Amino acid sequence: MHITDSIVYIGVNDHDIDLFEGQYDVDGISYNSYVILDEKTAVFDTADQRMTGAWISNLTNALEGRTPDYIVISHMEPDHSASLDAFFHNFPDTKAVGNAKTFQMADQFFPGLIPEGQRITVKENEELSLGSHTLVFCMAPMVHWPEVMVTYEKAEQVLFSADAFGRFGALPEQKGKPDILAEYKDGSWDAEARRYYLNIVGKYGAQAQGLLKKASALEIKRILPLHGPALSGDLSHYINCYQLWSSYTAEKQGVLIAFAGVYGHTAAAADALAEKLREKGVEVLVLDLARTDPAEALAQAFVYDRLVAAATTYDAGIYPTMEEFLIHLKGKAYQNRRVGIIENGTWAPMSGKLMKAYFEGMKNIELLEPMVTIKSALNEESEAALSSLADALSK
Ligand SMILES: Cc1cc2nc3c(=O)[nH]c(=O)nc-3n(C[C@H](O)[C@H](O)[C@H](O)COP(=O)(O)O)c2cc1C
Ligand SMILES: [Fe+2]
Ligand SMILES: [Fe+2]
């Protein structure tokens, strides 16, 4: 599928994947790949091994008998690099373009695959001319791995953005082929792009900010990411999303109450708190962590500016679904939020203290008083504490 006269989309949809990166529930995923046809031809990235055959076929069709001069390796993560061996099997003389770290990783994943004489090792701002198109390479370490680089093409003002600006979900299709130019109207891009960014890249906000800063110096007409749709037209909405997400800034004023319990008493406390907050005009979302996709729960924690973690004590620890949630929050550098805690326990409540320790290990978290302790079920005393917590949350 042509994106412009010279830029062809050769990516593939993977509808059968059950878990992306071994843990994320997705409604399919696209592995995007592109070819620029000029005096010289350049291929951008490959596809997951699950889709090698379809990708090679798209590539071969796009080339119309030509042999690619270059393959640019933006990212060595196997969802984009796994078909490199199939590529070199088909095109043994093509030159690979990467940075020093790219080739180090290529040697680890594919010992002996890329001959020394076929490596073009690029540094920040180095250029490669294809004829009327000129590629400028720009390092984007840790967005999402250390070797990641993005490429700006000057003539058409296109940014090949690697994982940045990616989105979960297979692309819509036309005649069985993924439509990279599909429009996601009325904010329909956001939820799966947010869930993707925060879960996949989330820990590296500072590095994503670095990339945004570099990108702001460029005139960009179109962003071509490695997953999800091409972005064009008014890019400010997407850039604004990335500004918020990568700076750990809340999108909404409101409280996420995430709860985890066994017999419904912790859930009842979560609902009671939600009711008290709504009476005060506060926007509230209540999530049962056992019945919410963990990646979505994490994304929602970043959406709101306040969080309440409510969990029962379980074998003298934190109920596992809550502990898992906290591990992911910490892993993705959750920060800059106000947090309340509700614990429950029937003989020795412990979950509050343990949850508190997680939040104390995070940056710029203001823990709100009181921590509410429920012994089995809400009573007058714990109801009163909930009201005080609602006051603290709504201040
Ligand atoms: C397997 C299991 C282990 C538990 N371990 C503890 C514990 O170590 N300390 C404690 O105070 N309560 C423990 N409890 C009791 C829970 O905290 C109890 O379910 C809770 O107080 C009631 O809230 P819920 O209805 O939200 O589950 C345990 C419950 C279960 C089912
Ligand atoms: Fe990646
Ligand atoms: Fe990726």
CATH of the domain at 339: 3.40.50.360
Do residues 63 and 134 share a domain? yes
Which segments of 120-251 does DSSP mark as H helices, in order? 190-196, 205-216, 236-246
Give pLDDT tens digits for 93-150. Answer: 999 999 999 999 999 999 999 999 999 999 999 999 999 999 999 999 999 999 999 9
Q: 60 CA to middle of ligand 3, Å?
A: 22
Which ligand lies nearest the alpha carbon of 349?
Answer: 1
Do residues 41 and 93 share a domain? yes
**Can you tell me which atom of ligand 1 is nearest the CA of 375?**
21
Q: Is 127 a member of any domain?
A: yes
Q: 227 CA to middle of ligand 3, Å?
A: 6
Model pLDDT, residue 326: 98
- Calculate mean pLDDT across residues 23-51: 98
How many domains does the chain divide into? 2
Domain boundary among 214, 246, 278: 246
Give pLDDT tens digits for 139-185. Answer: 999 999 999 999 999 999 999 999 999 999 999 999 999 999 999 99
Q: Is 57 a member of any domain?
A: yes
Give residue 255's pLDDT band: very low, low, confident or very high (50, 70, 90).
very high
Give pLDDT tens digits for 280-323. Answer: 999 999 999 999 999 999 999 999 999 999 999 999 999 999 99
In order of 15, 182, 212, 347, the CA distances from 42 in angstroms are 27, 24, 25, 66
Residues lining ligand 1, Cβ inside 6 A: 261-266, 312-316, 344-349, 376
Give residue 262's pLDDT band: very low, low, confident or very high (50, 70, 90).
very high
Domain boundary among 246, 276, 305: 246
Domain boundary among 220, 246, 272: 246
Give pLDDT tens digits for 320-358. Answer: 999 999 999 999 999 999 999 999 999 999 999 999 999
Give pLDDT tens digits for 39-65. Answer: 999 999 999 999 999 999 999 999 999
Q: Which domain holds residue 230?
A: 7-246
Q: Is 2 a member of any domain?
A: no
Q: Is 150 a member of any domain?
A: yes
- Calculate mean pLDDT across residues 28-44: 98
Question: Hey, which of 273, 314, 342 would you mutate to test ligand 1's pocket, going by the most ligand atoms within 8 Å of its Cβ?
Answer: 314
Do residues 202 and 280 share a domain? no
User: Which residue has tokens 């091409």?
Assistant: 230
- Calculate mean pLDDT across residues 360-373: 98
Give one DSSP letter per residue of 352-384, joined into a string.
HHHHHHHHHTSEEEEEPSPPEEEESS--HHHHH
**Protein residues near ligand 3, an ion, with CB under 5 A:** 79, 163
pTM (predicted TM-score): 0.95
Q: Are residues 130 and 38 in contact, defined by beta-carbon separation less than 8 angstroms?
A: yes
CATH number at residue 235: 3.60.15.10
Q: Is 1 a member of any domain?
A: no
